[in-house]
Structure 1
Amino acid sequence: MDFDLPETALAVREGVGAIARKYDQAYWDRCDADKRWPEEVWRDLVAGGWHSLAVPEEYGGAGQGLLELAVALETLADGGAGGAAAFLYLLTPAFGGLTIARHGTAEQRRAFLPGIVSGELETCFAITEPDAGSNAIGITTQARLDGDHYVVSGQKTWISGLERADFLVLVTRTVPAAEAEPRTHGFTVLLVDVKRAVADGRLTYRPIPKFGTNTVASSLVFLDDVRVPVERVLGVPDEGFAVLWDILNPERILAAASGVGFGSLVLRVACDYAHERAPFGRPIGANQAVAFPLARIRAQVELARLMTYKAAWLWDAGRPCGSEANIAKLTAADAAWQAADRAFQTHGGMAYSLEYPVARLFRDARIAKNIPVAEELILAHIAQHELGLPRSY
């Protein structure tokens, strides 16, 4: 059993780390305060090809896997980006590049992947609805076949990055849930031309005011008879659930990588302050009440890193990884939150000062326990599928 990262992943860690070191916490604070996409970082990632790691070489990408994407995301988060790093690697590299490379037709790969590699084309993903969050089976956004087009109507919510996206990876129902047999039948995943749909007045959206992660907008989206050519179906019509799980498992694994990097970053922020702050003549980090909780979180972060790498390795190998993806996400999100909470406590009253990054990191850490899947549903999955207990939902 070899726990060494492959050379490809080590090169990713070095290259992305060099970019991360160019941007200090003040930069990320400004992006968050201004509700601004970190354009400079994104352009650096594109210029180095660090965003297109999972795109096959024939389309200009690096031809690597989910493990390399996870290491890139972890490195960027650890290097200072914190929670903002997740969106830089989920929206286009994963939802677009990884998904189209794996499930796109030859024509779709030729049409989309070179643009993703060059940075000229960006994507986002939409599954969540006002009445169907974690219950993906219950989505009602309908795609009706009309000649050589699907006509799509419905609502989506918490759709991040739509304002930047050229194409939306959209999960629809082509068979209503009540008529589907089995329940997973009747899903169709579409590539929607966002700018055309907006120009036609068929797609409108409204940003949702948020508590944190303000470097990217998240919106309520309305689709009103949006026309999508049949050649923009990802995978097989009515059988898109297989594509969906090939989106959701990598999403959870990358969310876990974000949590690992985030936890490592926040621990460093906390430890730096614990070294510097000496109100009683010695650093507060010398006190076990401060040091022991941080040491425990260090152990939690390391355990989450191991499971994240294992889940990514399994996915790259084409092996089942649902439980590992869920466990990685659960443990990494909790480690990141515990780290942020202890960093807040370590800073004492200064945690409330916006002169320090801890308040932003605290806000960004909390949402990871809820998205992309709530920890309660992960625990329900583990209880049912790993422990053999009765289904609870």
Structure 2
Amino acid sequence: MDFELSETAAAVQKGMRELCADFGTDYWSRCDAEDRWPEELWTELGRGGWLGLAVPEEFGGGGLGLLELAVAMEELAASGAGTAGAFLYLLTPGFGGVTVTRHGTDQQKRDLLPGIAAGTTQTCFALTEPDAGSNALAISTTARRDGDDLVLRGQKIWISGVQRADWMLVVCRTTPAAEASGRTSGFSVLLVDVREAEAAGTLQYTPIHKAGNRIVKSNQVHFDDVRVPADRVLGEIDAGFAVLWDILNPERVLAAAGGVGTAELALRLAVGYAREREVFGRPIGANQGLAFPLARVKAQTELARLMTHKAAWLYDQGRPSGDEANIAKLTAAGAAWDAADRAYQTYGGMAFSEEYPIARLHRDARIAKNIPVAEELVLAHIATQGLGLPRSY
């Protein structure tokens, strides 16, 4: 076994760290306070090819894998963005770049990948529904065949990045559940031209006021007979669940990478403060009541990083990675939350001041325990798939 990053992954790590050095915690806190997309950073990511790391070279990308994308995600989150950076970076390089590269037709790749690599095309992903949160099998958004088109109708919720997206990957039913050949049959993943549907008045979205992660807006989305050409199906019609899992596992790996980076950031801030802040004549970091919890967070973070890298490596090798992706997501989300919480405790009352980024990191990190999948469902997956225990649902 070799635990060293490859030369390519190490170069990605170094390059992203250098780029993000100009966009630290103060920058991200300003974007959060102003409730705005980090345009300046996004421009630099596109200019430097960071949005197309996983896009094949023939389409202008870097031709790299999920591991390199995860390493880049870690560095972005650790630079000052925290969980917000994970949301931002997942939308286009992850949902768009990875999925279209893996499952797109030649024409779909030509239509989307060059723009993704150049930073001129953005994507988002629509799965969750008001009455079908974690139970993807229960989604009710449908697409019926009408000549050469599919007509999409239904609604989605908590869809992030619609405001910026040119294309939306939408999971829907193309065969009613009662007529499908199995529980996971009858689903398809469609590529929806967001601006075209918006101009036609068939796609509307409403932003959701959120407690955190304000840099990337989340929305409720309504599809009112959106016409989608049949050649915009990703993968095969009615066989979209295979594509869906190939979206969800990389999503969990990249979310885990964001969690690792967030934990690294919160830990760095907490340790720096614990070294400098003196109470009762000595640095507060000398007190085991503060030092030991921070040491435990360090251990959690390193373990989460190892599993995240392993899951990404397995995916790149074309090997089963579902168990590892779930374990990585579980451990990294826990590390990020614990690190942010311990940073809050270390800063004491000053954590409540927006002079410091601690409160932002704290509220943003909490949501990672619920999305992209609740930790209870991750534990259910590990129990049934990893331990062979009977299902409870």
Q: Do they fold alike, i.e. is TM over 0.5?
A: yes
8 Å Cα contact 2:207/2:219 also seen in 1: yes
SS of equivalent residue, structure 1 residue 145: strand
Q: 1:132 — aligned with what?
A: 132
- Native 8 Å contact 1:42 1:88 kept in 2: no
Is 1:245 the equivalent of 2:261? no
Partner of 2:56: 56
Q: Distance in 2 between matches of 1:115 and 1:383?
A: 41
Q: Are 1:226 and 2:226 counterparts? A: yes
> For 2:282, what is the secondary structure of its paired residue?
coil
1:4 aligns with 2:8: no
Q: 1:36·1:215 contact (CA, 8 Å) conserved in 2?
A: yes
- Residue 265 of structure 1: aligned partner: 265
Contact kept in structure 1, 2:45 and 2:119, CA below 8 Å? no
> What's the TM-score once normalised by structure 2's chain length?
0.99
Residue 45 of structure 2 aligns with which residue?
45
Provide the rounded CA distance (Å) in 1 between the counterparts of 2:64 and 2:89: 14
CA distance in 2, matches of 1:17, 1:117: 20
Q: Tell me if the contact between 1:69 and 1:89 (Cα under 8 Å) persists in the aligned partners.
A: no
- Residue 144 of structure 1 is matched in structure 2 by 144
Specify every segment of 5 or more residues in structure 2 that has no aligned partner in the other structure, as ranges: none
Per the TM alignment, residue 19 of structure 1 is displaced from its structure 2 partner at its CA by 1.2
Instruction: Determine the structure 1 residue equivalent to 2:286.
Output: 286
After TM superposition, list the pairs within 5 Å mapping 1:299-310 onto structure 2.
Answer: 299-310=299-310
Q: What whole-Å deviation, never above 9, does each CA across 1:332-385 have from its counterpart, x for those lacking one?
A: 000000001111111111111111100000000000000000000000111111
Distance 2:231 2:15 in 1: 37
Per the alignment, residue 332 of structure 2 pairs with 332
SS of the counterpart of 1:338?
helix
Distance 2:316 2:137 in 1: 26
8 A Cα contact 2:25 2:79, kept in partner: no
**Aligned counterpart, 1:92:** 92
1:80 Cα deviation after fit = 1.1
Question: Which residue identity lines up with residue 300 of structure 2 in the other structure?
Answer: Q
Q: Using the alignment, how far apart are the partners of 1:364 and 1:374 within structure 2?
A: 15
1:152/1:224 contact within 8 Å kept? yes
Contact 2:156 2:220 (C-alpha < 8 Å) held by counterparts:
yes
Q: Structure 1: where are the runs of 5+ without partners?
A: none
Deviations 1:211-250 (A, max 9, x none): 1000010000000000000111100000011110000000
Tell me how far 1:176 sits from its aligned partner.
2.1
- The residue aligned with 2:212 is 212
The match for 2:162 is: 162
In structure 2, C-alpha distance between the alignment counterparts of 1:13 and 1:73, rounded to whole Å: 9
Q: For residues 98-109 of structure 1, what are the structure 2 equivalents within 5 Å? A: 98-109=98-109
- Identity across aligned pairs (percent)? 67
Residues 183-203 of structure 1: CA distance to partner in whole angstroms, max 9, x if unpaired? 100111010010111111100
Q: CA RMSD in A?
A: 0.7
Q: Give TM-score scaled by structure 1 length.
A: 0.99
In the other structure, the counterpart of 1:390 is: 390
SS of 1:4 mapped into structure 2: coil
* Deviation by residue 1:22-45 (Cα, 9 ceiling, x = unmatched): 012111111011111111111111
Aligned equivalents of 2:333, 2:119: Cα separation in 1: 29
- C-alpha contact (below 8 Å) 1:20/1:81 kept by paired residues: no
